[in-house]
A and B are shown apart, each in its own frame.
Chain A
Amino acid sequence: MRIEFEHRQSAHCESGVTSNLLRSISGGKITEPLAFGIGAGLFFAHIPFIKINNGPAIAFRTMPGHIFNRTCKSLDIPVLRKKFSSKEKAESFLNECLDNGHPVGCQVGVYYLPYFPKEYRFHFNAHNIIVYGAEPDKYLISDPIMEFPTTMDSYQLERVRFAKGALAPRGHIYYPKSGVDITDEQLKQAIKNGIKKNANQMLYIPGSFAGVAGIKSTGNKIKKWRDKLGLQKAGSYLAQLVRMQEEIGTGGGGFRYIYAAFLQEADSLVPGNQLSDVSVMFTKAGDIWRTAAVQAAGIYKGRIGSQEDFDVMGDYLIEIAALEKEAFLALKKIKWR
């Protein structure tokens, strides 16, 4: 069973899956940056007391699942989603969807993904792929971060769909129902809502560990890491920060460049709101994130490592926090035309 489906590589798995699943419905209108922006994907959080792989728990994007949900909701696209307690039911439901001609999104864990390089296999359970067909002994897979489509046999697919640990997918499957048109008016409204939502979540989330306040607070924490953790462990923490910021599927600069691309694209769809000026600010923020990553690399490579070097690192984040705050306040204050 083969379904009409075109694999397109994207930067980020969830916004890529979202835009690829919506392509036939939207006539290609929903690009990856639009999905990311409408889904209010940009975020920052540094969750205290929790360790991931023995390092800090830092995220640059919103909770897994939110981008797809919010994008479909704001465009009034009905969604079918299911989780399963039984592996057999999960597989037969998948086969049913494919038989009915629906390519489907699947949440999977990456640890046992056969086509991933070994160095990238961690217990991360919020990866997203599209299954777009089945042949006698294999499923046809479109993983948005890969250049080309790939395949998995049913055991391999079952294993990653039922990966265990935090955010265990439990066979999670989802697809947008077809037969819906997206009007230009809906798209415009969805863009505005996405921007408002993203500004609110970055500016006003309570507590000091998330949003722009979180970036500043992590900047201040980094300055203390050298004394508190010792040079070696502080280096490992910085390496983890850089991996979360730049590794597979952020599009570079901790998703700041995708967001800047979104604002630029949005500017042509809802013109007259100075969105491209704000886009430039996010490009600048992404650039500083990258500069900070180079500084961090100097530390974990052992090339530098004085307290002053950690202060410089922390100050980059404090500078970014101020810049992103200014950018989101500018978005918040827009009088939409």
Chain B
Amino acid sequence: MKKDEVPQDLGSLGKITKEVCYATDSSGKYVTELSSGWDVKTKALDVAWDDIKKRVEAAREQVLANNASPLLFFMEYRLMDISILAGYTGFWQWQIKRHLKPDVFAELSDKKFQIYADAFNIKVADLKSMTVHED
């Protein structure tokens, strides 16, 4: 890539920091050049987030239909799979799988609710009511 071809399309990272690219100058020597973003990768990131939004919405519907507990919703919302959630909570994966059932979830102790709320960085009330505050 030549230095003057380093893309300068403003992406979400570019608003906070420019990133270093390696490119060649007119004599073919490598130099570093700052880039504020590249449309090709901005769009790739958009695709990833669109997919996540769809999964979050699908999870919300599962919870509303009483097929899953709000844990499923917040797992998708926080991009966590069962193993990551197990890491943050200290629960076994089989326990989390049980807690994904609405009737089991409803009977959880306050202590367990708090552990989940901390893992998702939300309040217990919001966990139970599936409420999201943008952060």
CA distance A246 to B37 in the complex (A): 10
For residue A165, which residues in chain B have a CB less than 8 angstroms away from its CB?
80-81, 83-84, 87
Q: Do A247 and B47 touch (CB < 8 A)? A: no
Tell me whether A117 and B15 are in contact in the complex, defined as CB-CB below 8 angstroms, given that A164-B87, A242-B41, A246-B41 are known contacts.
Answer: yes
Query: How many residues on chain B are close to A (CB under 8 Å)?
Result: 42
For residue B40, which residues in chain A have a CB less than 8 angstroms away from its CB?
242, 246, 293-294, 296-297
CA distance A252 to B32 in the complex (A): 11
Residue of A115, A247, A260, A287 near B45 (CB, 8 A) is: A247
CB of B27, distance to nearest CB on chain A (Å):
11
Residue of A148, A166, A261 near B30 (CB, 8 A) is: A261
CA distance A11 to B31 in the complex (A): 12
Q: Do A249 and B19 touch (CB < 8 A)? A: yes
B125 interfacial by beta-carbon distance below 8 Å: no
Query: How many residues on chain A are close to B (CB under 8 Å)?
Result: 56
Residue of B13, B15, B22, B29 near A252 (CB, 8 A) is: B22
Interface residues of A in 100-134 (CB under 8 A from B): 111-112, 115-120, 122-123
For residue A118, which residues in chain B have a CB less than 8 angstroms away from its CB?
12
B49 interfacial by beta-carbon distance below 8 Å: yes
A contact residues vs B (CB 8 Å cutoff): 9-11, 33, 53-55, 111-112, 115-120, 122-123, 145-148, 164-166, 168, 235-236, 239-240, 242-243, 246-249, 251-253, 257-258, 260-261, 264-265, 279-280, 283, 286-287, 290, 293-294, 296-297, 300-301
B contact residues vs A (CB 8 Å cutoff): 1, 6, 12-13, 15-24, 28-30, 32, 34-35, 38-41, 43-45, 47-49, 51-52, 55, 78-81, 83-84, 87-88, 121
